[in-house]
């Protein structure tokens, strides 16, 4: 980059004057091209040799290594030098959460960062995410989202807050927060329209859903996003309404590759798209075609594990979808019950009215799951309302 080129000029000057500066070798390691791994490592090791107490050498060495264990070890060494650095602590907390899966320790570290630096945005964001995904505590997550909005007032904080309010079913409160957006800013306008469409869908207000989806598509197209089209949005609307004929016609016309069992497939579409097409074929009683596509997309469950990132709860709900489409409805309900046992509530809340789950709705066990998740959602929503009201 241009910045790296300018930095390289200053670096050459500095090392000409004094080639024994840990700061210079740290900068060298940070700006070298990523494919020069040996040179990068040598630069950081030289910096540490020259000044073993220079925390930034350990930090930037950690940032520039692909070895996760080494990264964690280097961050720990840097924290020995500066135990109150929010940047070092956030790196340690993230590693502890995503790789060690020690959620209690990660929670403690995120809380520590906020106590040290009350305006550290990423700490609020990651702590709320941890509480939502790993503890099933949407009410506590909403509290930290709210505190983040109060402390910083940034778009990112408010967007997260609106998302959590929506997951709690607090639609009026979520819509009220949208009033703080600057709708002349395309990012704010797109986020607002997406939130409005999501709330319309979750609340069953299909009358306002279609225009919201159209407006969302138009905004995305206006900023040059080629992954979205009005046809795609209307197809999604048709699927949500259970208009399977229209949804299938769209895919046959605009995305025939999704139905082509002879074509080598890559995941260059939304990961759930094949599920929706297979489900549509089942609803239309085109069972042979559905079975052929299921076999064609047999690789999807393994791909989801890597594509959906590090959230186990999302992997679980898509495994439920695949199991339903394979016809093993009892096993799918077993998986949903296991997710609730692990407090992985968010995907079930988000997808409890999904058309694929229609295939389970006559099962008493599924209705028990749906009732339990609705009860959890309402209880946590009330907890958060009580927090906002304050002590009596």
* pLDDT recorded at residue 254: 86
Global pTM reads: 0.88
The pLDDT of residue 23 is above 90: no
Minimum mean pLDDT among 29-33, 210-214, 326-330, 383-387: which range? 29-33
The pLDDT of residue 307 is above 60: no
* pLDDT recorded at residue 255: 85
Task: Please measure the distance between the N-terminal and C-terminal CA atoms of the chain and give it in whole angstroms.
Answer: 57
User: Can you tell me the mean pLDDT for 340-369?
Assistant: 94
| Percent above pLDDT 90 for the chain | 68
* pLDDT recorded at residue 279: 96
* pLDDT recorded at residue 373: 96
The pLDDT of residue 389 is above 90: yes
Task: Select the highest-mean-pLDDT range: 125-134, 226-235, 289-298.
Answer: 125-134
User: Can you tell me the mean pLDDT for 280-289?
Assistant: 96
The pLDDT of residue 52 is above 90: yes
Map the chain to HEC letters.
CHHHHHHHHHHHHHHHHCCCCHHHHHHHHHHCCCCCHHHHHHHHHHHHHHCCCCHHHHHHHHHCCCCHHHHHHHHHHHHHHCCCCHHHHHHHHHHHHHCCCCHHHHHHHHHHHHHHCCCCHHHHHHHHHHHHHCCCCHHHHHHHHHHHHHHHCCHHHHHHHHHHHHHCCCHHHHHHHHHHCCCCCHHHHHHHHHHHHHHHHHCCCHHHHHHHHHHHHHHHHHCCCCCCCHHHHHHHHHHHCCCHHHHHHHHHHHCHHHHCCCCCCCCCCCCCHHHHHHHHHHHCCCHHHHHHHHHHCCCHHHHHHHHCCCCHHHHHHHHHHHHHHCCCHHHHHHHHHHHHHCCCCHHHHHHCCCHHHHHHCCCHHHHHHHHHHHHHHHHHHHHHHHHHHCCC
Domains of the chain with CATH codes = 1-83 (1.25.40.10), 299-392 (no CATH)
The pLDDT of residue 308 is above 50: no
Residue tagged 């469950």 (tokens)? 301
* pLDDT recorded at residue 256: 87
Mean pLDDT score across all residues of the chain:
89
Higher pLDDT, 337 or 3: 337
Task: Select the highest-mean-pLDDT range: 20-29, 35-44, 104-113, 350-359.
Answer: 104-113
**pLDDT bucket at 153, cuts 50 / 70 / 90:** very high
The pLDDT of residue 42 is above 60: yes
User: Can you tell me the mean pLDDT for 325-354?
Assistant: 94
* pLDDT recorded at residue 28: 84
Task: Select the highest-mean-pLDDT range: 59-68, 185-194, 248-257.
Answer: 185-194
Higher pLDDT, 282 or 10: 282
Higher pLDDT, 309 or 21: 21
Minimum mean pLDDT among 100-109, 210-219, 261-270, 285-294: which range? 261-270
The pLDDT of residue 267 is above 60: no
């Amino acid at each position: 980059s241009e910045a790296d080129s300018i930095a390289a000029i200053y670096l050459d000057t500095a090392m000409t004057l004094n080639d024994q500066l840990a700061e210079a070798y740290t900068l060298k390691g940070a700006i070298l091209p990523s494919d020069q791994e040996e040179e990068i490592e040598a630069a950081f090791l030289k910096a540490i040799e020259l000044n073993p107490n220079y925390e930034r050498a350990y930090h930037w060495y950690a940032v520039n290594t692909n070895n996760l264990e080494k990264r964690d070890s280097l961050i720990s060494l840097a924290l020995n030098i500066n135990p109150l650095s929010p940047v070092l602590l956030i790196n340690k907390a993230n590693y502890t959460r995503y790789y060690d899966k020690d959620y209690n320790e990660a929670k403690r570290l995120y809380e520590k960062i906020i106590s040290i630096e009350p305006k550290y945005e990423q700490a609020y964001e990651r702590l709320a995410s941890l509480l939502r995904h790993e503890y099933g505590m949407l009410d506590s997550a909403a509290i930290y989202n709210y505190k983040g909005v109060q402390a910083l007032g940034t778009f990112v904080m408010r967007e997260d807050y609106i998302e959590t309010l929506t997951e709690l079913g607090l639609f009026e409160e979520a819509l009220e927060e949208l009033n703080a957006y600057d709708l002349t800013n395309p990012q704010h306008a797109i986020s607002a329209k997406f939130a409005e469409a999501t709330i319309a869908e979750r609340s069953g207000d299909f009358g306002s859903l279609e225009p919201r989806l159209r407006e969302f598509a138009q905004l995305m197209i206006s900023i040059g996003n080629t992954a979205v089209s009005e046809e795609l949005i209307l197809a999604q609307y048709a699927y949500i309404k259970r208009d399977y004929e229209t949804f299938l016609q769209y895919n046959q016309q605009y995305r025939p590759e999704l139905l082509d069992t002879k074509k080598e497939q890559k995941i260059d579409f939304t990961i759930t798209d094949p599920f929706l097409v297979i489900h549509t074929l089942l609803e239309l009683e085109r069972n042979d075609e559905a079975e052929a596509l299921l076999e064609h997309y047999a690789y999807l469950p393994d791909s989801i594990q890597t594509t959906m990132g590090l959230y186990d709860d999302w992997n679980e709900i898509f495994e439920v979808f695949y199991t339903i489409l394979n016809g093993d409805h009892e096993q799918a309900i077993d998986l949903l019950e296991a997710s609730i046992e692990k407090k992985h509530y968010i995907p079930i809340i988000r997808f409890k009215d999904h058309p694929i789950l229609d295939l389970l709705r006559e099962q008493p066990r599924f209705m028990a799951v749906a009732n339990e998740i609705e009860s959890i959602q309402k209880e946590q929503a009330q907890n958060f309302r009580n927090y906002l009201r304050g002590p009596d």
